[in-house]
């Protein structure tokens, strides 16, 4: 699928986002490098903030994989993958709340369907939602376009069914296995392809000191950091967040979301 025809399709596309979704929005001012240089959409959040206007139409989102936190200076985006999980998601939510941090939760469709109350809890706390496919198939990039489309759009529907009217702002391919087609499908449906720039490998349970040293090490500019609240024992993740988030706050970082509509 060429990016030109896809961009044209997306430009023609408008989507009215539910009012409930606006409650989750913060001002988007950041940017991320985009693979598609032609993408110059207006920011959704600027539209949402327009005074006295009609319900904002969704701006198309870039095809490029977002790896930067929106905002400026010492902005950082925390992302939490592979939930929701009844054991770990509440604990992660608690540590985020204790540190006044809003994060982005990349949810597996079947888990969202199994635990809709956790999806609601995450959304109600002001975190953003991200589609992480139906089955977390890390070989998605070797599958048919039709399969990828089903995995992406069915998972989006599963998340939306848990919280009617909620915005699903991003799509993160399982294992980062994006394809040009999966990026186009996600973007055409209002979801920015979402990567990361710091991976503490919390899923491999490397031990608390290793996680903390990775995330306290030389952080790239406006990092997007990858953590997990599903897929196994996440006690190290919860403990690491409990150390990491206060450290970041003490070092002047502000917590934001991954860039969504900026290139
Ligand atoms: Zn994952």
Structural domain contains residue 261 = no
Structural domain contains residue 56 = yes
| d(CA 6, ligand 1 centre) in Å | 26
Let me know: does 188 contact 6? Beta carbons within 8 Å.
yes
| d(CA 55, ligand 1 centre) in Å | 33
Structural domain contains residue 248 = yes
The pTM is what?
0.78
> What is the pLDDT averaged over residues 200-209?
84
Please indicate whether residue 127 is annotated as part of the active site: no
Structural domain contains residue 222 = yes
pLDDT in tens, 145-162: 999 999 999 999 999 999
Distance CA 74, CA 183 (A): 28
34 upstream amide cis, omega within 30 of 0: no
Of residues 212 and 148, the one with the higher pLDDT is 148
| d(CA 39, ligand 1 centre) in Å | 27
- Please identify which of the residues 82, 136, 228, 229 carries the catalytic annotation: 228
Q: How many CB atoms lie within 10 A of CB 242?
A: 16
Domain count, the chain: 1
- Please identify which of the residues 81, 131, 169, 181 carries the catalytic annotation: 81
> What is the pLDDT averaged over residues 251-255?
92
| d(CA 203, ligand 1 centre) in Å | 9
Residues written for the chain: 263
Structural domain contains residue 162 = yes
Structural domain contains residue 12 = yes
What pLDDT score was predicted for residue 111? Answer: 98
What pLDDT score was predicted for residue 260? Answer: 94
| d(CA 172, ligand 1 centre) in Å | 8
Structural domain contains residue 64 = yes
Structural domain contains residue 262 = no
Most confident of 37-41, 166-170, 205-209, 213-217: 166-170
- 86: domain CATH number is 3.20.20.370
What pLDDT score was predicted for residue 97? Answer: 98
Please indicate whether residue 81 is annotated as part of the active site: yes
Residue 175 lies in domain? 3-256
């Amino acid at each position: 699928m060429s990016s030109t025809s896809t961009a044209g399709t997306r430009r023609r596309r408008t989507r009215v986002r539910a009012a409930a979704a606006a409650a989750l929005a913060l001002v988007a001012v950041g940017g991320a490098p985009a693979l598609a240089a032609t993408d110059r959409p207006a920011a959704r959040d600027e539209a949402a903030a327009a005074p006295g206007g009609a319900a904002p139409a969704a701006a198309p989102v870039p095809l490029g994989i977002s790896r930067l936190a929106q905002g400026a200076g010492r902005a950082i985006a925390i992302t939490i993958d592979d939930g929701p999980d009844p054991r770990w998601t509440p604990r992660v939510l608690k540590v985020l709340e204790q540190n006044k941090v809003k994060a982005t939760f990349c949810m597996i469709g079947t888990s969202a369907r199994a635990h809709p109350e956790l999806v609601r809890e995450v959304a109600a706390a002001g975190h953003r939602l991200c589609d992480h496919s139906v089955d977390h198939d890390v070989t998605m990039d070797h599958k048919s376009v039709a399969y990828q489309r089903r995995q992406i759009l069915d998972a989006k529907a599963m998340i939306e069914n848990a919280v009617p009217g909620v915005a699903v702002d991003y799509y993160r391919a399982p294992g980062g296995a994006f394809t040009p087609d999966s990026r186009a499908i996600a973007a055409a449906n209002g979801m920015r392809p979402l990567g990361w720039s710091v991976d503490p490998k919390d899923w491999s349970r490397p031990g608390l000191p290793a996680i903390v040293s990775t995330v306290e090490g030389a952080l790239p500019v406006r990092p997007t950091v990858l953590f997990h609240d599903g897929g196994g024992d996440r006690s190290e993740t919860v403990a690491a967040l409990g150390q990491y988030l206060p450290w970041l706050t003490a070092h002047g970082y502000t917590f934001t979301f991954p860039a969504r509509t900026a290139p």
